Amino acid sequence: MEKVVLAYSGGLDTTAIIPWLKETYGYEVVCCCIDCGQEEELDGLEERAKLSGAAKLYIEDIIDDFAENYIMPCVQAGAVYEHKYLMGTAMARPGIAKKLVEIARKENAVAICHGATGKGNDQIRFELGIKALAPDIKVIAPWRDDRWNMDSRQAEIDYCKAHGIDLPFGTDQSYSRDRNLWHISHEGLELEDPSLAPNYDHMLVLGVTPEKAPDESVDVTLTFEKGVPVSLNGKKMKVADIIRELNALGGKHGIGIVDIVENRVVGMKSRGVYETPGGTILMEAHQQLEELVLDRDTLSLKKDLGNRMAQIVYEGKWFTPIREAISAFTESTQEVVTGEVKLRLYKGNIIKAGTTSPYSLYSESLASFTTGDMYDHHDAEGFITLWGLPLKVRAMRMNELKKDNTK
């Protein structure tokens, strides 16, 4: 019997897909749950998968891989989609796709199946990753398959029960969420109406609103080596553990809550609320260190490429030459991104509290208003004359044309 590897979350959708795949395609179903830091969402998965008819379940921990090989390249690039979204979902998908391909090869599977809908970005991200790594493997997307006729949670529950799967899935509508080490996203319910404020009391998982944060601030010190965080408050930690600690600190102090209407790849706008407390702190600290150590031209180009990197990752193009090229440029800039960043967290705000680096390009003698040996104020006059020459020539020519037209 041919095998299919199913990207399995344990939720109602992917549970209903198990008997549907067996019935529709006649495949043996191998479930694969990729652990990117979902935490308690993974409880009881093996029993649920087997009860639903899966031949086998893999639970693959890629948390460290996710943190070091997907999150950090985006942090170092300053990749933020549409100026707000720190791409917690988008960054995780290529790592998941890579692991699904590995399991498919191990099991000699002919197909990989995912439960992403036909309206979202994830279908693109999963499938582009699979195409790039295993172009010979078939991809099955039930939500785009004409033989998938379940259009509600109740229909899926009824289908499961008809196939002997009676699990405690409720029909209560809640937010559509995606959680991992980096963030948790929320869509649906009142968020589908942009005129309504989010019901934060009902929604938030990782933290609280700034209004409910403590009245006392907390200080945080991050140490970086070549663009990678290596310690938090003087304690050496791996990247994943630093993110976990920052999530707890940031969540407590109301950091990193973003309400955004974004442009999906498929052409529609969607509204979501993202909680990224630790990621917001880490991105800010890294940016503050780069301000100190990178020259003006490098920072300018890096900002442009960071925006491009965000678009590439959001669109599911991780395994492409252009993403690799941008990452190579970014990595070369990180050679000097070493130092210590101090921050103060207070009611949703991240306040700069001092940055130091052996590679600092800041010169106190140059920046001060006193005249030193390296800078003569008179030199600025010639510089301004030459720098402003194109503007002056253009203005003179326009004035001449105006005079000619009035004759």
The DSSP line for 262-319 is EE-TTS-EEEEEEE-HHHHHHHHHHHHHHHHHS-HHHHHHHHHHHHHHHHHHHTT--S
Count CA within 13 A, CB hemisphere, residue 82: 15
Catalytic-role residue among 13, 185, 271, 357: 13
Residue 88's SS3 state is helix
CB of 341 closer than 8 Å to CB of 221: yes
Catalytic-role residue among 9, 122, 244, 327: 122
380's tokens: 């600025």
CB of 217 closer than 8 Å to CB of 345: yes
Closest CA to 283 of 206, 227, 213: 227
Amino acid at 120: G
Q: Compute the 3-state secondary structure of the chain and give helix, strand, coil in percent, each to the nearest 5.
A: 45, 20, 30
Burial of 315 (0-12, 13-18, 19+ CB in 10 A): middle
Catalytic-role residue among 61, 65, 153, 176: 176
122 is catalytic: yes
Q: DSSP secondary-structure letter at 71?
A: I
CB of 95 closer than 8 Å to CB of 34: yes
Catalytic-role residue among 93, 179, 271, 323: 93
Q: Virtual CA dihedral for 213, 218, 224, 230, nearest 10 degrees?
A: -80
The DSSP line for 166-203 is ----------EEEE-SS-EEEESGGGGSTTSPP-HHHH
300 is catalytic: no
Q: CA-CA distance, 326 to 305, in Å (whole number)?
A: 7
Burial of 41 (0-12, 13-18, 19+ CB in 10 A): middle
93 is catalytic: yes
397 is catalytic: no
Which amino acids are annotated catalytic?
13, 93, 122, 176
